[in-house]
Structure 1
Amino acid sequence: MLPWESEAYWLVRFLFHRGLAVIYLLAFLVAATQFRPLAGEDGLLPIQQYVERHEFRDRPSLFYFYPDDRAIGITAWAGVGLSVLAFVGLPSWFPRPYAVPLSILLWLTLWALYLSFVNAGQTFYGYGWESMLLETGFLATFLGAGSTGPPIVVIWLLKWLLFRNMFGAGLIKLRGDDCWRDLTALDYHYETQPIPNPVSWYVHHLPDRFHRLEVLGNHVVEVAVPFLYFAPQPWASVAGAATIGFQGWLMLTGNFSWLNALTIVQAIATFSDGVLTSVFPVTAPSVSASAPPLYLQAISVVLAAVVLWRSVDPVRNILSERQVMNTAFDPLRLVNTYGAFGSITRNRYEIVVQRTTDEVITADTDWQTYEFKGKPTDPAQRPRQVAPYHYRLDWQLWFAAMAPSPRRSPWFLVLLDRLLAGDETTEKLLESVPFAETTPTHVRAVRYRYRFTTPEERRETGRWWERERVGTYVSPVSEGDLQLARV
């Protein structure tokens, strides 16, 4: 008997499935509330663009055949409902012969529905954690349910996924920006990350020596620790605990959607029931005499063969000197490559969107500012904690602000057009609209460089940010100007 065959994983599967169900629930809630104004029929990137520019076999989605807001809404809320059923473990309520097939059907449906959003979401769904959720969700389909234990093979496939997630992130940092190698990356990161949270300001001002130790610890956890995922217990659990602690720190100091929470869920696979019950006062049922059904074991072997076959390109990418981050190699996103922040921005730029009701623009025009739900705008506004929820427009504005004009972000002009029209669906993506009872005559976008205030500055002014104007992103425009610009 191999060492890992003596371990039980019923409790591991229980925790893994519940954690993943919560993340699916958040993902579908985001889709239900944001997908239509971003990528629906009249979205900033209309879904018809996806239909016209892609073949179904290249980016399969239900919305290829039903590209309308009603189908989007039904699919999103169906995903919310199914996520709740997955969280309460509905398949396990049924007798053993039915529990596993129902579990497979439930988790496979969640995966297929979310795949539809990711493949049709265009720029607004171009983040690494989308493919990661799909890959994790597909593997979760074959963990079984009820009183039987999960196939050990699938547990190991989850470890392989976690390894690629962490190790890929570690290597892309070591190969990328010099600041990761000279241990200065975190001198900038907390201030320039996409959406800082309230703790980010405080951590940014910790001593340089602490930041050097942080970066060194990052390299250890992402490059060395992942190899222990495949070690016997308790070493695999020690590696999993280190990963969970590391991801918890990232959650405490930033807003990275559900990336960190999903990685924590993946890390559950590094534990065993024996380790969990020895540390926590919980009891797992004895499943040593209740092996997974033979058909599920056979499926898991076929699944392992497919994953190994599809892992060739991700492994080549990880080992390549030209490693790219967050890339899918097949339309179903079954086996992907991961890694983020290979380069660190030294300066933080923000786009401030403003409106006026003046008919003629002069030097004395009074401009009022739109506030967003997550990204910094008002220097006096405390950074917000929004993750693991994901405000997609705010994230995309962070990328857009890196360039001095919206040439690479054509959706931005559409956003201005919607704001000029007073479109309520688009305005719901924002935190507040100044003088919402009136329709603006002009809007503009100004580009600023932001930095955290020093402790002394904050004591004097109460502000979290200082900013200076560095340019005009979009000059004042009216609705007619934007219509001519799109002709």
Structure 2
Amino acid sequence: MWPCGLGKEMFLLSMGSIYLFAFASLYMQIPGLFGDNGLLPVRNILRRDNKASLMEDIRRRPTLLWFIDDLGLTAQTGMSLLCIIGVYLSVMCIVSKGWRSIFSFSFMWILYFSLYQVGQTFLWFQWDILLLEAGFLCIIVSLSKNSRNSAGSPNDLISLWLVKWLLFRLMFASGVVKLTSGCPTWWELTALNWHYESQCIPTPLAWFAHHLPSWFQRFSVMMTFVIEIPIPFLFFSPIRSLRMFAFYLQVTFQLLIIATGNYNFFNLLTIALCLSLLHDNGLPFTGILSCELKRRCRVFNVIVNTIRKLIVLVVAFVFVYWIQHLFLVEFDSKNIIITKIGQESLFQFILIQTLGVFFLGFTYSQFVVALKTIVPFSIWVGALSLGFVIFQSLLRCCQQEQVLDKIFSLVLCCVKAGVAIWLFSISLVPYSALDEDTQHNVWPVVRKWHSQIDQFHIVNSYGLFRRMTGVGGRPEIGIEGSDSLDGPWQEYNFKYKPGDVNNLPPFLLPHQPRLDWQMWFAALGSYHHNPWFVHLAYRLLSGERAVLDLMAKNQTLKKPPRYVRAILYKYHYTKVSCNSLIEFVRKARKVKSFWWREYSGEYLPPLSKSEPSMLQFLNHYGLGPSKDGVTISRTGYLHHTLLFIRSYLRASDAWILLGSLFFLAFAFSDSYICHFKGGRYIFYKVHLP
């Protein structure tokens, strides 16, 4: 268990790394996504209203990009500048503890918020708003007096509690919405039968996970509900062993997701939030009484340890009891016979026969009724836990030896306590959406506070994988080009998303190819709801270099085609028939194609560059060639410097660039070695030459 000071530093260090991944990954994609000839040009939404003042434009869309004209920059180079500054600040946060300050994290939050405001559909993901909320909490966490000891500042407990509350809302809501959505695959515990195949960008291990036995897939779904719904309540436990149990479960859960799916920095960000569980807050009076009692009375320690163990046993019993009643298992151990054992391993057979089939032991209406109790109960748990932490922080402030330190700590503690209470209150507005009755009971003044700051995404609602998509086959779009309507048609390849059935799924962590991601969402609907997709077809017909850089190199398409069309396919993982694990591994090594696909229909009809219907469609959304106009000439030194950096990095692989920046920054960072000896934490600070 880490002292509070080290926990805070590790959290800020992790957030600096995640900011680095977010800024650098986005920087590499700006020209193709948001440039003047990109898919969603930013300049279209930064047009000034002649009747409105600059402040009115800022209130309408708060972003630093309104000031790019004063710097002699275009919208594209302005976004690049914000990303470069963000990369620099995040690298310095990794390198030096002194840079993990309120100034650095405030500026990085403003930079990312400015980019989010103009990112449109390519930046509207849940991990982007999660980064904004967690980044805002970094400002509060970094607002503390620097401490020379590992215990940190007394008010760090309040800051880290806010991080813990965010983690609770994220995990609990993600579990609840899976059931409130009414998705049959979640209720039948069959979601993972399709998840590994249908997720946005799978990893190579997803193919192997897809072939796990059906009983194990159902067991995994059951464990997902357990980890996401009841386990988060242990985050607020004052007993360290229970928090550590919850921490290891959450981190293991995130690592398994990382192994089977490419979700950029999202899982790393969740693990960073889990670091808030590692600080040792203990019981409020142990800091005052334990030292004296350890010397005079060993009975006190025995009583405290006994009580803790009893509480742990009671909690374990309650969890096992409710899991047994809520997740029913059909036991069938009578069929274990010698002939069966001879056909497969004894261990595998016993598991199948004794575990049987898992299924939910409650109905949708029962779950909705239970939420009317669980959601208010979780709010009371959060409120009591926050009061506990504030009281504990005040006690620690009173233990300061110097009078000035004591006064400063108390003042800062009161400020953080007020901010924490305010943030907790307004977070109840999006969080209470899990239950309609609870949402109606939120005070009107709290609703007013939330409405006033809602656009800044300081608090948000979450709910990942609400419904399982791709049941029966993964929908995927193939874009093809040709010089004749009669063919032959040549398919465009993407860098990461499934296309060629012979290509191996990649590992991308922590890069997010936002075009590849949006192609997955586009396949779930139609091009009518995705105007950027029609604009993609137009840019391919024009041979736009910035857009082509977002895609893989296509050796068969040396020049822009005369026609472009899109075909909708259903992708499936290839299957391996076997009777044992050893046989499966042997056959899997010989697999050459991880996918096979079937024709599903036409997604976009063949279009030419001068197709009137396409041009009319694009002009309606402000994306047509009539909106291109003439780019204003920029001759400033800063503008040309940014263009030079862009030209130098254009051919770089984003994944390699992100990894290089992180390891280079970490190589020159301040390093801490922690050693536990004699009941004390000893820290060695190593300065690299």
TM-score of the aligned structures, taking structure 2 as reference length = 0.62
Q: Quote how far apart the aligned CAs of 1:484 are.
A: 5.1
- Tell me, which stretches of 5 or more residues in structure 2 are unaligned? 50-55, 69-73, 283-396, 440-449, 578-586, 620-689
Q: Deviations over 1:199-235 (max 9, x none)?
A: 1110001000110110110011100110010101132
CA–CA separation in structure 2 for the residues paired with 1:406 and 1:322: 38
2:95 corresponds to which of 88, 96, 101: 88
Q: How does 1:74-473 map to 2 (within 5 A)?
A: 74-91=81-98, 103-144=101-142, 146-147=146-147, 149-150=152-153, 151-176=156-181, 177-232=183-238, 233-272=240-279, 294=409, 296-320=412-436, 330-345=454-469, 346=471, 347-356=473-482, 358=483, 360-362=484-486, 365-403=487-525, 405-435=526-556, 437-456=558-577, 462-473=592-603
The list of structure 1 runs, each at least 4 consecutive aligned residues, that deviate by more than 4 angstroms after superposition, is 52-55, 287-293, 456-461
8 Å Cα contact 1:50-1:122 kept in structure 2 = no
Q: Quote how far apart the aligned CAs of 1:182 are.
A: 1.9
1:46 corresponds to which of 3, 28, 41: 41
Q: Deviations over 1:67-126 (max 9, x none)?
A: 71121111111101110011123426xxxxxxxxx7100110011100011121010111
Q: How many residues align?
A: 454
**Relative to 1, partners in 2 of residues 1:137 and 1:175: Cα closer, same or farther, differing over 3 Å?**
same
SS of the equivalent of 2:524 reads coil
8 Å Cα contact 2:427-2:459 kept in structure 1 = yes
Of residues 59-68 and 224-233 in structure 1, the stretch that sits farther from structure 2 once superposed is 59-68
Q: Quote how far apart the aligned CAs of 1:434 are.
A: 3.3
CA–CA separation in structure 1 for the residues paired with 2:437 and 2:550: 40
Q: How does 1:58-77 map to 2 (within 5 A)?
A: 58-66=60-68, 68-77=75-84
CA–CA separation in structure 2 for the residues paired with 1:465 and 1:397: 18
8 Å Cα contact 1:258-1:389 kept in structure 2 = yes
8 Å Cα contact 2:564-2:607 kept in structure 1 = yes
SS of the equivalent of 1:389 reads coil
Q: Quote how far apart the aligned CAs of 1:369 are.
A: 1.6
Q: Quote how far apart the aligned CAs of 1:309 are.
A: 2.7
Q: Quote how far apart the aligned CAs of 1:7 are.
A: 8.3
8 Å Cα contact 2:38-2:546 kept in structure 1 = no
CA–CA separation in structure 2 for the residues paired with 1:87 and 1:231: 31
Larger RCO, structure (CA 8 Å, separation 6 or more):
2
Aligned-residue Cα RMSD (Å) equals 2.8
Q: Partner letter of residue 457 of structure 2? A: R
SS of the equivalent of 2:455 reads coil
8 Å Cα contact 1:57-1:331 kept in structure 2 = no
Q: Partner letter of residue 370 of structure 1? A: Y
Of residues 42-51 and 454-463 in structure 1, the stretch that sits farther from structure 2 once superposed is 454-463
SS of the equivalent of 1:431 reads coil
- Tell me, which stretches of 5 or more residues in structure 1 are unaligned? 1-5, 93-101, 276-286
8 Å Cα contact 2:490-2:557 kept in structure 1 = no
CA–CA separation in structure 1 for the residues paired with 2:618 and 2:124: 24
8 Å Cα contact 1:7-1:274 kept in structure 2 = no
**Relative to 1, partners in 2 of residues 1:349 and 1:9: Cα closer, same or farther, differing over 3 Å?**
same
SS of the equivalent of 2:507 reads coil
CA–CA separation in structure 2 for the residues paired with 1:118 and 1:424: 24
8 Å Cα contact 1:442-1:478 kept in structure 2 = yes
Q: Quote how far apart the aligned CAs of 1:353 are.
A: 0.9
Q: Partner letter of residue 479 of structure 2? A: V
8 Å Cα contact 2:137-2:159 kept in structure 1 = yes
User: Which residue number corresponds to residue 284 of structure 1?
Assistant: none
8 Å Cα contact 1:39-1:46 kept in structure 2 = yes
SS of the equivalent of 1:166 reads helix
Q: Deviations over 1:128-156 (max 9, x none)?
A: 00111111111111223743524211111
8 Å Cα contact 2:23-2:84 kept in structure 1 = yes
CA–CA separation in structure 1 for the residues paired with 2:607 and 2:565: 6
Of residues 147-156 and 81-90 in structure 1, the stretch that sits farther from structure 2 once superposed is 147-156
Q: Quote how far apart the aligned CAs of 1:367 are.
A: 1.7
**Relative to 1, partners in 2 of residues 1:58 and 1:167: Cα closer, same or farther, differing over 3 Å?**
farther
CA–CA separation in structure 2 for the residues paired with 1:225 and 1:74: 42
Q: Quote how far apart the aligned CAs of 1:181 are.
A: 2.1
Identity %: 34
Q: Quote how far apart the aligned CAs of 1:387 are.
A: 2.6
8 Å Cα contact 2:569-2:600 kept in structure 1 = yes
SS of the equivalent of 1:179 reads helix
2:17 corresponds to which of 7, 22, 29: 22
8 Å Cα contact 1:39-1:122 kept in structure 2 = no
Of residues 166-175 and 308-317 in structure 1, the stretch that sits farther from structure 2 once superposed is 308-317
CA–CA separation in structure 1 for the residues paired with 2:160 and 2:520: 37
Of residues 32-41 and 102-111 in structure 1, the stretch that sits farther from structure 2 once superposed is 32-41
**Relative to 1, partners in 2 of residues 1:134 and 1:49: Cα closer, same or farther, differing over 3 Å?**
same
SS of the equivalent of 1:477 reads strand
User: Which residue number corresponds to residue 283 of structure 1?
Assistant: none
Q: Quote how far apart the aligned CAs of 1:436 are.
A: 5.2
8 Å Cα contact 2:25-2:512 kept in structure 1 = yes
SS of the equivalent of 1:330 reads helix
Q: Deviations over 1:222-259 (max 9, x none)?
A: 00110010101132222112111111111111111221
SS of the equivalent of 1:167 reads helix
8 Å Cα contact 2:157-2:281 kept in structure 1 = no
8 Å Cα contact 1:175-1:321 kept in structure 2 = no
Q: Quote how far apart the aligned CAs of 1:453 are.
A: 0.8
Q: Which has the larger radius of gyration?
A: 2
Q: Quote how far apart the aligned CAs of 1:459 are.
A: 7.8
Q: Partner letter of residue 501 of structure 2? A: P
